[in-house]
Amino acid sequence: MASYEYVSPEQLAGFDKYKYSAVDTNPLSLYVMHPFWNTVVKVFPTWLAPNLITFSGFLLVVFNFLLLAYFDPDFYASAPGHKHVPDWVWIVVGILNFMAYTLDGVDGKQARRTNSSTPLGELFDHGLDSWSCVYFVVTVYSIFGRGSSGVSVFVLYLLLWVVLFSFILSHWEKYNTGILFLPWGYDISQVTISFVYIVTAVVGVEAWYEPFLFNFLYRDLFTAMIFGCALCVTLPMSLLNFFRSYKNNTLKHNSVYEAVVPFFSPCLLFILSTAWILLSPSDILELHPRVFYLMVGTAFANSTCQLIVCQMSSTRCPTLNWLLLPLFVIVMVVNVGVTPYVESILLFTLTAAFTLAHIHYGVRVVKQLRVEEKNIGL
């Protein structure tokens, strides 16, 4: 198992022919961030590997997640009457979040600057981005938290899924059209949230208790922005890009079944994880929300990485992810009935297993592609 090869010979052959194709139409990205990143990348020495920049940005996101997990383990720190997160933590998180976003924008420019652009670099970048979704969303949750002034853990669970599906839509588009249409919501959200972290340090979390407009609270604005961006911007633009490709007869998959296969595993993951929440005898989401989010986000990242491998190698996406099998078994066990202690053990064990399995997948895929690059002289 330690030397298992996840990338098939057919996929390796597809990577050899791969050419990067992406479209970015976001005004914020084009006229503000790209000029900024073009300046920042000149600071980096040419010997610095782009993948190291990518990984450093990911580690900053994970560090923010762990830092808030320490100061706000149960998401009650921002609620009235509870000990709040220290102001300096919000400043650190805000700065590191913007640094991570900057590194994510600079890594590709460093690759082109040093003539080291490879399919592995793109896969590494987007693969880590898929896992960053859960860390980013869960960290943001601590601004409002739960309680009378915050957002319930189930609403945050739904918001997490909105973000996850928004992310996979871009790669679903590329799977079908061959072009990666970069979503507008990403740049806007990263800049906005980095700013909100700093503002929280200045005005305190109590400022978010007050109504934003009439009886419309800031927590409602937070929720509305995520749902609104997904339903009014991300989804319509994805469907429009898909329709244009269909109209121009450039779709890579002609059947409806093949076109929607990438959604099978994420949808099943949503169904199974939601069923666990609804059937849970101990209300597992209320009991361990942070761990449950991490379990869902890691399983999602693994399915997304498999999709990215397939769309980059022009091969068929697998119908289902085998990682969902143990989740299915646990949902069945929970439905029969278990004690709160046993259910907690099952959640922590499954989350650890998903994390180790995903790390193993990533390490093995990177090693396989590195060997292939050496063989073809990249």
What residues are labeled active site? 126
Helices 289-313 and 119-144 sit at what angle, rounded to 10 degrees?
A: 160
Tokens of 288: 């361990």
Q: How many CB atoms lie within 10 A of CB 314?
A: 16
Cβ within 8 Å of residue 318, ≥6 positions away: 265, 306, 310
Report the DSSP beta bridge partners of residue 181.
23
